[in-house]
Homo-oligomer: A and B are copies of this chain.
Amino acid sequence: MSEPKRLAEAFLQTTYQVAGHSKRDVQQLKQAFEAVDGGTASDVYGSGPIIEEFQQKMAQYLGKETAVFFPSGTMAQQIALRIWCDHKGIKRVGYHPLSHLELHEENALQELHGIESVHLTDRDSVIRLEDVQRLQEEVACVLLELPQREIGGQLPSYEELVAISAHCREKGIHLHLDGARLFEILPYYQKSAEEVCALFDSVYVSFYKGIGGIAGAILAGDAAFTEESKVWKRRYGGDLISLYPYIVSADYYFDLRVGKMEQYYADAKELAALYNQCHAVTTRPEVPVSNMFHVHVAVPKEKLESIVASICEETGIGLTHYVRETAEQTSYYEVGVGDRYAAIPKEELRHAFQLLNKKLSGVE
């Protein structure tokens, strides 16, 4: 059996898993709908209490005038950027070279809108004020992803964020928040969602990362912006006759978990410290600023797969179900802490990390 497959299968047999909330299965939906009356009316093409009330709730939470529910963040963010480009009459936006738009959307911004992108910094850094200040080309909009997921979930300081926002306002550059993990960073910033969102013209948040819903996104901003976004939502085929399967679950898991972000953040720091005590391991960032971080290990991918699989088998604890290779032939994986972490007996967790350390040290 190949090492990736052995790891994936060993992980499936574990008693405890370190990351996430639960399996992605039908139970997620059943649980969310359990207390919902069958007679509750569906939304119909964006209308009806089930969608309008959730949109109002999220607008209020984010401190924006209005909010629109979308099937996906991919759709919501492209639309936000298109709207800002149309407003400015400039078909160019600035973002991180590892943004979701750059990596996971098949060049959609160019293919569907003819919008060019400018990379504001290098692949290893967070975007700083000076990156925005030294922009040579005019852009309609700057997109900031908080935290920057593909570099382990790093953040600028809040002061830097405020300075970037002030600079963009002064220069007439729209500022959009990729807040796929916005809920998760509020404990570090010690700010409300409203305070963070006030720095941005438009905001997207996701309901299947830290919130653990099934899918779906909210795009929020002023009323003129969100009205325009609804026209584009229809153009994209995102204005489904019924979005309630995602809305009901988003609402349910939002209520269940938005108050637990402080706990996930504390757990992530504890877990990262356990990793950093191990030979050849560093987390990125070293001290997490949200519920997530990347585990970098100075051994080849296959070697790490083999070690983690054996830890699954020997301890019943699943550290990760996959490992990726870096350009330097070392290996890494992402960890996002959720409900599962707190359920692991600390003694057993410590034992698993002792074993990881031994195996990486070549002692065992």
Binding site for B on A (CB under 8 A): 23-30, 33, 36-42, 44, 70-76, 78, 104-108, 111-113, 208, 214-215, 231-232, 234-246, 248
**Minimum CB–CB distance for A32 against chain B, Å:** 10
A29 to B74, Cβ gap below 8 A? no
Q: Which residues of B contact A24 (CB under 8 A)?
A: 41-42, 44, 241-242
Cross-chain pairs A/B with CB under 8 angstroms, 25 sampled:
A24-B241, A25-B38, A25-B40, A25-B41, A26-B36, A26-B40, A26-B42, A30-B33, A71-B238, A71-B240, A74-B234, A74-B235, A74-B237, A74-B239, A75-B238, A105-B234, A106-B231, A107-B235, A108-B234, A111-B235, A208-B241, A208-B242, A236-B237, A236-B238, A245-B245
In the complex, A246 Cα to B246 Cα: how many Å? 10
Q: Which residues of B contact A241 (CB under 8 A)?
A: 24, 208, 214-215
A235 to B25, Cβ gap below 8 A? no
- With A76-B237, A237-B72 already in contact, the answer to whether A29 and B245 are too (CB < 8 A) is yes
A244 to B70, Cβ gap below 8 A? no
Among B30, B41, B72, B107, which residue has its beta carbon within 8 angstroms of that of A238?
B72
In the complex, A212 Cα to B313 Cα: how many Å? 47
Q: Which residues of B contact A36 (CB under 8 A)?
A: 26
Q: Which residues of B contact A75 (CB under 8 A)?
A: 236-238
In the complex, A187 Cα to B208 Cα: how many Å? 43
Q: Which residues of B contact A76 (CB under 8 A)?
A: 237
Q: Which residues of B contact A238 (CB under 8 A)?
A: 71-72, 75, 236-238
Among B38, B72, B78, B234, which residue has its beta carbon within 8 angstroms of that of A240?
B72
**Minimum CB–CB distance for A114 against chain B, Å:** 9
Query: Which chain B residue lies CB-closest to A29?
Result: B245
Query: Which chain B residue lies CB-closest to A34?
Result: B30
Most central of A108, A237, A238 by chain B CB within 10 Å: A237
Closest 6 CB pairs of A and B: A75-B237, A74-B237, A245-B245, A27-B38, A108-B235, A72-B237
Most central of A29, A30, A242 by chain B CB within 10 Å: A242
Query: Which chain B residue lies CB-closest to A231?
Result: B106
Query: Which chain B residue lies CB-closest to A110?
Result: B235
Q: Which residues of B contact A40 (CB under 8 A)?
A: 25-26
**Minimum CB–CB distance for A319 against chain B, Å:** 20
In the complex, A267 Cα to B26 Cα: how many Å? 36
**Minimum CB–CB distance for A100 against chain B, Å:** 10
Among B38, B71, B234, which residue has its beta carbon within 8 angstroms of that of A30?
B38
Q: Which residues of B contact A104 (CB under 8 A)?
A: 234
Most central of A25, A36, A73, A78 by chain B CB within 10 Å: A25
Among B26, B33, B44, B106, which residue has its beta carbon within 8 angstroms of that of A26?
B33
**Minimum CB–CB distance for A107 against chain B, Å:** 8
- With A24-B42, A42-B25 already in contact, the answer to whether A106 and B214 are too (CB < 8 A) is no
A71 to B25, Cβ gap below 8 A? no
Q: Which residues of B contact A28 (CB under 8 A)?
A: 42
Q: Which residues of B contact A236 (CB under 8 A)?
A: 74-75, 108, 112, 236-238
In the complex, A27 Cα to B38 Cα: how many Å? 4
Among B26, B39, B73, which residue has its beta carbon within 8 angstroms of that of A38?
B26
A26 to B37, Cβ gap below 8 A? yes
